[in-house]
Structure 1
Amino acid sequence: MRFLSSGYRKFDPQITSSHGLGAYDESDNEDIDRAIALSLSEEQNKGKAVDIDYNLEEDEQLARALQESLNADSPPRQNIPVENVPSEPPRELPPILFASSGSRTCAGCKNPIGHGRFLSCMDSVWHPQCFRCFACNKPISEYEFAMHEDQPYHKSCYKDFFHPKCDVCKNFIPTNRNGLIEYRAHPFWMQKYCPSHEDDGTPRCCSCERMEPMDIKYITLDDGRKLCLECLNSSIMDTPECQQLYMDIQEFFEGLNMKVEQQVPILLVERQALNEALETEKNGHHLPETRGLCLSEEQIVRTILRRPIIGPGNRIIDMITAPYKLERRCEVTAILILYGLPRLQTGSILAHEMMHAYLRLKGFRSLSPQVEEGICQVLSHMWLESEIIFGSSIDISATSVASSSSSSSTPTTSKKGAKTEFEKKLGAFIKHQIETDSSEAYGDGFRAANRAVESYGLRSTLNHMKMTGSFPY
């Protein structure tokens, strides 16, 4: 993304300039006085009478002509981009002392200019004290000033108001070699940051993906992941803490007439344990960074028994784990979820893996990765909608059941609390990730599955999948 700001304006000594400052230095005034005196002397030498009450307008024209002659060899003034303005303070020039005819009106105070000094800029004339910065309301006397929406600003005020600052280092975002203000921005959160932060090791939150600002310290999990403080507030850190969320999602599936009869163990694990289980597991299709896993094999995994605490340096300490032996009593032995993620993200992963369990337990065989992952993403997306849009599982469940098949079960309300504004935003972000995923299995699969569910309903889509292994079209 690029940001190109308005340029600075210079006061032009020519009185007729639209962005000028009618201003002469003392030597210019002396030259004009000498010229007028010489002219008067010549007239006297010729024996002509001179009227003391000379016409002021003629003198103004004469002064203007002389000044234009003085500036004839000077290069024209140009607007300077904000990025290339010299760091030293701009020089100031004293306003011209003009004897006004009384017909001029100040654009600031709307009173007559009178016979004192005045500035000519922005197609108007001003008392020097009336030409003020729109931001700080102090007079502008510098040689250069900035314009924004037809309002004048000091250069420093303009930069403070309109030059973007980096959300990471809090400094003004620098310009590139072309003099343009160039920055990066997260496509969802719109967090602006200097391009250099993409390569300087600035960490991101493992959940919301926002970069860590230099004035805020993220939490460091034991596996090196970073967690921002907002995501930490609703994070689920151990297996017992996850059980209530598991019950909420079971109720959500029951409301869709998709009850999972078997009691599948739900375990929160560290990343190392998840990767080790992934190597042993033969079924499923997984992303490079797996956060959830539906297991079908017997094995021993280490689960987190107690929520760790935050120690020195904002690091997680006192992680207590224990081995858990998985026994194969059905097609699914356990569901593993990566610990430390916010409730909404943990729930979306759990809903996805629960759908994997449902498909296996209900005899859906030989589904392609695009079909299986796609329908699992649809269930994850539906659960998120029930959380952030409708506010409780009963609403989205009832809506989905009505569009797919009649249900004799009565869904119960979720036992979750009210969402904070950040949680609602995070839920929308996770939905956005699902909707815009570019992978073939998860992204294209979701979009194909979602079109089928919207057209034919969830129940008809599942029936068609079981018979044909594909989505209805």
Structure 2
Amino acid sequence: MGWLSKIFKGSSHRISEGQYHEKYGDDGVWNEPSNSLDTLSEYENEDIAHAIALSLSEEEQKKAKAIATLEEDEQLARALQESLNADSPPRENGHAYQPVPFLFSSGSRICAGCNTEIGHGRFLSCMDAYWHPECFRCHACNQPISDYEFSMSGNYPYHKSCYKELYHPKCDVCKQFIPTNMNGLIEYRAHPFWMQKYCPSHEMDGTPRCCSCERMEPRDIKYVTLDDGRKLCLECLDSAIMDTSECQPLYLDIQEFYEGLNMKIEQQVPLLLVERQALNEAMEGEKNGHHHLPETRGLCLSEEQTVSTILRRPRIGAGNKIMNMITEPYRLTRRCEVTAILILYGLPRLLTGSILAHEMMHAWLRLKGYRSLSQEVEEGICQVLAHMWLDSEIISGSGSNVASTSSSSLASTSSKKGSRSQFERKLGDFFKHQIESDTSPAYGDGFRAGNQAVLRYGLRPTLDHIKLTGTFPC
């Protein structure tokens, strides 16, 4: 983008030297008779002298007017030149651009806009061409540009306001033009997956993010506030699973997914949907186990505990806040190496499913006697199974029958029909992206090492190698 200068040049009329000059003699105005003035009467001589005096007086007046007009044009020229010099030179593509003022058109220049002769009138000299003032138009709104400065994109001129509307990025949060920084450059933040653009200030002004998709809350849309303070965008809310009974069909689907991998879990492990506080309390009561910080969203328990589980889907009340959360205590008894799987409530189906697939792999490893694995190996292979499940869901496009005890969301209906909305498919890709781009040593590096081994050797040989050596095959 370059800022160029535009001024009106030329005069509305043309003045040529001698335009008002009158000649006397053979072809002059006054043809003298052959007789001399001496032969005329004194009266006649006085009349002729008076006529000549009047003629000379008119001539002088016309000359004086011409000189005055010329002086006015010279003053106009000086004023335009001083105006041009008073401001800093405009810039085009980062280089100074100084248009040459042509104050008087010769009538031979061709307008770059209409391709006709400019003639004797005002014209513009910019972009290495000449223009009628009415022909120099904005490429966006097609209205004449009469401002001193205008913007360029490619070879097209724009009003500064039109250019800003078209090319200056707007914040997806506050919907305003993203301001320039102290260096005059446009600086903004962008989500690496969703490419949501926003002002840097929103990272510090308390603007909430969706706890599922991580997008910032726009000013014109209010996210749902869960009872633990988490925010959920309306699109993620469409397929959110809110209570334990809603999650059971998804649990059956993932059990079938494991059976398809010849990794059936024979024991009946309870699955409970819980609030954040209950999940944290259960995590503290667990003697062993690996947890994904900074926030745990799933847990595979091995100890006997009493856990508060969500009995009924809460409703959304005033201010988009969750209301009437109904819970009940659930006593976990140890019948095998795994007592229960806990999942944080209020997350979309695909995220809930990927967390559940991850925790079920923890259960499978414990039930199959995989002991004393390093965090990188255990969490890594669990992330591989979560990634595989997401991949299968996205490829198949067949949703599970997410049961709902209430007509709470459109996604419950769409999932029953086996359909997948465009956003939900995109959301699945985002959850895969989260797993793939995780930077933590256990969950990120562990996943990449485990996934590479599974792609090279297959899942079963990789698991056999892990059981034998406690490491991924190289």
- Would you say same fold, with TM above 0.5? yes
Match of 2:107 among 100, 104, 120: 100
The reply to whether residue 465 of structure 1 matches residue 460 of structure 2 is no
Q: Distance in 1 between matches of 2:263 and 2:103?
A: 85
Q: 1:43 to 1:255 in 2, by over 3 A?
A: farther
User: Which residue, 213, 218, 222 being the options, matches 1:213?
Assistant: 218
Partner of 1:425: 426
Distance in 2 (alpha carbons) for counterparts of 1:143 and 1:43: 43
> What is the CA–CA distance in structure 2 between the aligned matches of 1:172 and 1:263, rounded to whole Å?
56
Pairing 1:155-304 to 2, within 5 Å after superposition: 155-288=160-293, 289-304=295-310
Other structure's SS at 2:85 match: coil
What residue identity is the alignment partner of 1:449? G
Match in the other structure for 1:16: none
The answer to whether residue 355 in structure 2 is matched with residue 360 in structure 1 is: no
Contact 1:252/1:393 (8 A) holds in 2: no
How far 1:226 moved relative to its partner?
0.4
Q: Quick check: 1:266–1:335 contact (8 Å CA) kept in 2? A: yes
Distance in 2, matches of 1:129 and 1:117, equals 10
Instruction: Please tell me the residue identity of whatever aligns with 2:467.
Output: K
Letter in 2 for 1:79: P
Matched residue SS, 1:129: coil
Any residues of structure 2 matched to 1:293-372 within 5 Å, and which?
Answer: 293-372=299-378
> Is the Cα–Cα contact under 8 Å of residues 243 and 312 in structure 2 kept in the other structure?
yes
Q: Who is 2:96 aligned against?
A: none
Q: 1:23 aligned to 2:9?
A: yes
Distance 2:92 2:119 in 1: 36
Report what 1:456 is aligned to. Answer: 457
In the TM superposition, residue 128 of structure 1 has moved relative to its aligned partner by 1.9
Aligned-residue CA RMSD in angstroms?
3.0
Which amino acid in structure 2 is aligned with residue 221 of structure 1? L
Determine if the alignment matches structure 1 residue 441 to structure 2 residue 442: yes
- Spell out, residue by residue over 1:376-406, the C-alpha distance to the aligned partner (whole angstroms, 9 max, x if none): 0000000111111343599xxxxxxxxxxxx
Shift in Å at residue 348 of structure 1?
Answer: 0.5
Distance in 2 (CA, whole Å) between partners of 1:451 and 1:67 is 76
Residue correspondence of structure 1 range 82-93 to structure 2 within 5 A = none
* Gap runs ≥5 in structure 2: 29-72, 94-100, 401-414
Q: Identify which range, 119-128 or 380-389, moves more after superposition.
A: 119-128
Give 1:115 deviation, angstroms: 3.5
1:71 and 2:71 are equivalent in the alignment: no
Runs (4+) of structure 1 exceeding 6 A deviation are 39-44
Given that 1:294 and 1:332 are in contact with CA atoms closer than 8 Å, whether structure 2 keeps it comes out as: yes
User: Shift in Å at residue 296 of structure 1?
Assistant: 0.5
Amino acid at match of 1:74: N
Larger Rg: 2
How has the CA–CA distance of structure 1 residues 285 and 193 changed in structure 2, closer, same or farther, with 3 Å as cutoff? same
Give the TM-score of the pair, scaled to structure 1.
0.79
Please give the secondary structure, in 2, of the residue aligned with 1:74: helix
Give the Cα separation in 1 of the matches to 2:102 and 2:339: 86
> How much has 1:41 moved relative to structure 2?
9.1
Aligned partner of 1:423: which letter? E
Post-superposition Cα deviations, 1:355-377, rounded to whole Å, max 9, x if no partner, equal 00000011111100000000000
The number of residues matched between the two structures is 403
User: Which residue identity does 2:441 align to in structure 1?
Assistant: E
Q: Deviations over 1:103-136 (max 9, x none)?
A: x332222233333433222112222222111111
Letter in 2 for 1:455: R
Identity %: 70
How far off is 1:416 after superposition? Answer: 6.9
Structure 2 counterparts to residues 30-49 of structure 1, below 5 A: 37=17
The answer for the alignment partner of 1:407 in structure 2 is none
User: Under a length normalisation based on structure 2, what TM-score does the superposition of the two structures give?
Assistant: 0.79
Residue aligning to 1:55: none
